[in-house]
Amino acid sequence: MKLWKHALICLVTLLTCTNVLAKPVELDKVAVIVNDGVILQSDVDNAIKTVKANVKQSGKSLPSAAVLHDQVIDKLILDKLQEQEAKRIGVKIDDARLTAAIKDIAQRNKQSIEQLKQSVKNEGLTYEEFRNQIRKEMEISEARNALVRRRINIIPAEVDNMAKLLAQQTNATVQYKISHIQLRYNDDNKDEMEKKAQDLVKRLNSGADFSQLAMSYSKGPKALNGGDWGWMRKEEMPTIFADHISDQHQGDIIGPFTSGAGVHILKITAVKGLKSVAVTEVNARHILIKPSVILSDEGAKKELNSFIRRIKNGEATFGELAQQYSQDPGSASQKGELGYQTPDMYVPEFKHQVETLPVGQISQPFKTVHGWHIVQVLDRRKVDKTGAAMKNKAYRILFNRKFNEEATAWLQELRASAYIEIQKGDDSDS
Q: SS3 for 244?
A: coil
Whether residue 300 contacts residue 290, with contact meaning beta carbons closer than 8 Å, is answered with yes
CA distances from 372 to 21, 118, 149, 161, 333 (A): 52, 38, 20, 38, 18
Distance CA 248, CA 268 (A): 8
For the chain, give the number of residues: 430
Question: 174-272 and 279-384: same fold?
Answer: yes
Residue 113 burial class via C-beta count within 10 angstroms: exposed 0-12, middle 13-18, buried 19 and up: middle
Which of 153, 194, 383 is closest to 283 using CA atoms?
Answer: 383
List, edge to edge, every strand of the sheet that includes 37-40.
37-40, 30-34, 420-422
CB neighbour list of residue 258: distance below 8 Å, 6 or more residues apart: 194, 264
Distance CA 193, CA 171 (A): 32
Main-chain phi, psi angles of 174, to 5 degrees: -85, 140
Distance CA 275, CA 289 (A): 42
Q: pLDDT tens per residue, the chain (430 residues)?
A: 333 333 333 433 333 333 444 445 456 799 999 999 999 998 898 888 878 877 777 777 888 888 899 999 999 999 999 999 999 999 989 999 999 999 999 999 889 999 999 988 887 778 998 898 899 899 999 999 999 999 999 999 999 998 888 877 766 678 899 999 999 988 888 899 999 999 999 999 988 999 999 999 998 889 888 999 999 888 888 888 888 887 667 889 998 999 888 999 999 998 887 666 677 899 999 999 999 989 999 999 999 999 999 999 999 999 999 999 999 998 999 999 999 998 988 999 999 999 999 999 999 999 999 999 999 999 998 876 667 777 888 998 999 899 989 998 999 999 999 999 998 764 433 3
- Domain 30-150: what homologous superfamily? Porin chaperone SurA, peptide-binding domain (1.10.4030.10)
Helix (H) or strand (E) holding 37: strand 37-40
Whether residue 341 contacts residue 282, with contact meaning beta carbons closer than 8 Å, is answered with yes
Q: Note the CATH architecture for domain 279-384.
A: Roll (3.10)
Give strand ranges (E) for 146-260: 175-183, 228-232, 253-259
* Crossing angle of the two packed helices 156-171 and 386-416, in degrees rounded to 10: 130
Residue 256 preceded by cis peptide, ω within 30:
yes
Q: SS3 for 315?
A: coil
Query: What is the model's pTM?
Result: 0.47
| Residue ranges covered by each domain of the chain | 30-150, 174-272, 279-384
* CA dihedral angle for residue 154, residue 347, residue 110, residue 140, rounded to 10 degrees: 80
- Please spell the DSSP secondary structure of 331-392, one letter per residue: HHTTTTEEEEE-GGGS-HHHHHHHHHSPTTPBPPPEEETTEEEEEEEEEEEEEE-HHHHHHH
Helix (H) or strand (E) holding 237: none
Class of domain 174-272: alpha beta
**Radius of gyration of the chain from its Cα atoms, rounded to whole angstroms:** 33
Say what the pLDDT of residue 319 is. 95
CA distances from 197 to 157, 221, 260, 262, 264 (A): 32, 17, 15, 10, 8
Which of 362, 371, 377, 358 is closest to 301 using CA atoms?
Answer: 371
Residue 9 CB coordination number (10 Å)? 10
Distance CA 386, CA 275 (A): 7
